[in-house]
């Protein structure tokens, strides 16, 4: 409700912002996974505000690391929006908001925000599980003061440690902000970011995260962080960051998604003929039961026989025979498994009266392998006869092989 009210305020102030009212309607099919409106939080110092919807955590990073002018302490807080914060674009926010900043510690005055901070090390982090959801979308409202860091990038993680840059689209209010892409400067993120050119509220910054790893992920998180460092760090007025004042504020941080529907895909895994089966029931609802298909497309692989399916191409995953069942909660690929066709070589004394037939220690052989014919190593004998060779037929009408023949 709070988000809608703030959008209405924006639309009344500036007719161009009316486009923002359409966004929730077009995304009506999505489900709010977790949202931070900060209305449920007391107006006070708060380094970890609770979400208003769903479960998750919020925190800031980098506010107690750099001299600004001294190294201070993290002292984020929930504050009441004020009409005096309304910027040149006319967008007001009079609801509760979350301010990210540092404050004086034992060493003296500090602010937290610093141009010495490496790219992506100062800002706000919001984490929530996307289990059961796909097509993840992120939206939020951002405010920077005139002296605050003017360049913001959005990142996401699927493992809690590797962060990926993602492009944003602007909301209905585009005055005072622009989307940019850097490909040259080593002091700005290689990728997409937004840059503010005035002290303003920028509502409805949005990103769609198409990475399939972001879906159904317990380690999912986003962060809105500094896009630049050093001389590329400028404030909302375009001047160099002064490292002693300025801050960011956030509101209506929303992570949403559609109900996750995992798929089952079959792969021939080196097959030389036939076709892979296609599961007509895929995609499935998360938690549904999957019945593994048989080799209905008559997959073949030269020199091999089909032996089932496995979740890993090399057979190191979970094996499934046709008709087996499992509960699906993630996209699953089933790889055909192949067992090499093998052939044995057996020696027969064929009426011998003494000695023993040799045994080929290399048998069985894979199809296509080379066999070296053994000699009469077991000293086979037959009264009135001498050993001459081997033959594929007992009566000698087959293929003859002398010892050591290949």
Q: pLDDT tens, 267-314?
A: 999 999 999 999 999 999 888 999 999 999 999 999 999 999 999 999
Tell me which of 259, 291, 312 is where a domain ends: 259
Residue 52, Cβ neighbours under 10 Å: how many? 19
Q: Using CB atoms within 10 A of its CB, is residue 365 exposed (0-12), middle (13-18) or buried (19+)?
A: middle
Tell me which of 200, 231, 259 is where a domain ends: 259
Question: In 8-52, where do the E strands start and end?
Answer: 31-36, 44-45
Question: What is the spatial distance between Cα 140 and Cα 181, in angstroms, rounded to a whole number?
Answer: 20
Name the β-bridge partners of 249: 99, 143
Question: What is the spatial distance between Cα 307 and Cα 343, in angstroms, rounded to a whole number?
Answer: 17
First to last CA, the chain: 83
Q: Looking at the structure, do residues 222 and 76 belong to the same domain, yes or no?
A: yes
Residue 37 near residue 252, CB atoms below 8 Å:
yes
Q: Looking at the structure, do residues 322 and 188 belong to the same domain, yes or no?
A: no
Q: Looking at the structure, do residues 214 and 333 belong to the same domain, yes or no?
A: no
Q: What is the mean pLDDT of residues 42-69?
A: 97
- In this prediction, residue 18 carries a pLDDT of 29
Q: Looking at the structure, do residues 221 and 126 belong to the same domain, yes or no?
A: yes
Question: What is the spatial distance between Cα 66 and Cα 230, in angstroms, rounded to a whole number?
Answer: 13
Q: Looking at the structure, do residues 120 and 192 belong to the same domain, yes or no?
A: yes
Cβ neighbours for 386, distance < 8 A, ≥ 6 positions apart: none
Q: Looking at the structure, do residues 322 and 388 belong to the same domain, yes or no?
A: no
Q: Looking at the structure, do residues 50 and 198 belong to the same domain, yes or no?
A: yes
CATH number assigned to the domain comprising residue 220: 2.60.120.260
Q: Looking at the structure, do residues 91 and 140 belong to the same domain, yes or no?
A: yes
pLDDT confidence of 172, banded at 50, 70, 90?
confident
Q: Looking at the structure, do residues 397 and 349 belong to the same domain, yes or no?
A: yes
Q: Looking at the structure, do residues 91 and 238 belong to the same domain, yes or no?
A: yes
This prediction has a pTM of: 0.69
Say how many domains are in the chain: 3
Q: Which of 241, 243, 229 has its CA nearest to residue 71?
A: 243
- Name the phi and psi angles at 399, rounded to 5: -90, 125
Which domain, by its residues, includes 38? 2-259
Q: Looking at the structure, do residues 333 and 392 belong to the same domain, yes or no?
A: no
Q: Looking at the structure, do residues 185 and 204 belong to the same domain, yes or no?
A: yes
- For residue 318, give the 3-state DSSP assignment: coil
Tell me which of 240, 259, 278 is where a domain ends: 259
pLDDT confidence of 21, banded at 50, 70, 90?
very low
């Amino acid at each position: 409700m709070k988000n809608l009210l703030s959008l209405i305020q924006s639309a009344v102030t500036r007719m161009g912002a009316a486009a923002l009212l359409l966004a929730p309607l077009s995304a009506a099919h999505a489900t709010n996974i977790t949202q931070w409106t900060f209305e449920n939080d007391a107006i006070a110092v708060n380094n970890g505000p609770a979400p208003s919807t769903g479960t998750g955590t919020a925190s800031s990073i980098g506010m107690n690391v750099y001299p600004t002018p001294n190294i201070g302490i993290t002292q984020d807080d929930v504050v009441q929006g004020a009409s005096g914060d309304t910027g040149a674009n006319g967008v007001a926010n009079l609801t509760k908001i979350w301010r990210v900043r540092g404050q004086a510690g034992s060493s003296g005055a500090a602010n937290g925000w610093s141009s010495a901070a490496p790219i992506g090390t100062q800002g706000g982090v919001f984490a929530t599980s996307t289990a059961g959801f796909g097509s993840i979308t992120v939206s939020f409202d951002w405010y920077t003061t005139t002296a605050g860091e003017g360049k913001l990038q959005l990142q996401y993680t699927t493992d809690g440690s590797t962060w990926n840059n993602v492009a944003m689209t602007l909301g209905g209010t585009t005055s005072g902000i622009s989307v940019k892409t850097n490909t040259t400067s080593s002091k700005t993120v290689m990728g997409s970011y937004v840059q503010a050119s005035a002290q303003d509220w920028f509502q409805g910054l949005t990103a769609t995260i198409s990475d399939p790893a972001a879906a159904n992920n317990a380690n999912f998180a986003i962060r809105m962080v500094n896009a630049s460092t050093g001389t590329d760090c400028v404030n909302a007025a375009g001047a160099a960051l002064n490292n002693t004042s300025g801050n960011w504020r956030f509101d209506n941080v929303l992570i949403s998604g559609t109900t996750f529907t995992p798929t089952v895909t079959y792969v021939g895994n080196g097959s030389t003929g036939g076709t892979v089966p296609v599961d007509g029931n895929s995609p499935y609802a998360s938690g549904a039961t999957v019945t593994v298909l048989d080799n209905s497309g008559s997959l073949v692989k030269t020199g091999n026989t089909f032996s089932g399916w496995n979740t890993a191409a090399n057979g190191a995953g979970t094996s499934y025979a046709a008709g087996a069942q499992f509960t699906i909660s993630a996209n699953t690929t089933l790889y055909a498994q192949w067992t090499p066709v093998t052939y044995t070589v057996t020696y027969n004394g064929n009426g011998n009266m003494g000695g023993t037939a040799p045994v080929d220690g290399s048998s069985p052989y894979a199809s296509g392998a080379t066999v070296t014919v053994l000699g009469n190593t077991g000293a086979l004998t037959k009264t009135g006869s001498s050993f001459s060779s081997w033959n594929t037929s007992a009566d000698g009408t087959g293929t003859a092989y002398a010892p050591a023949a290949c």
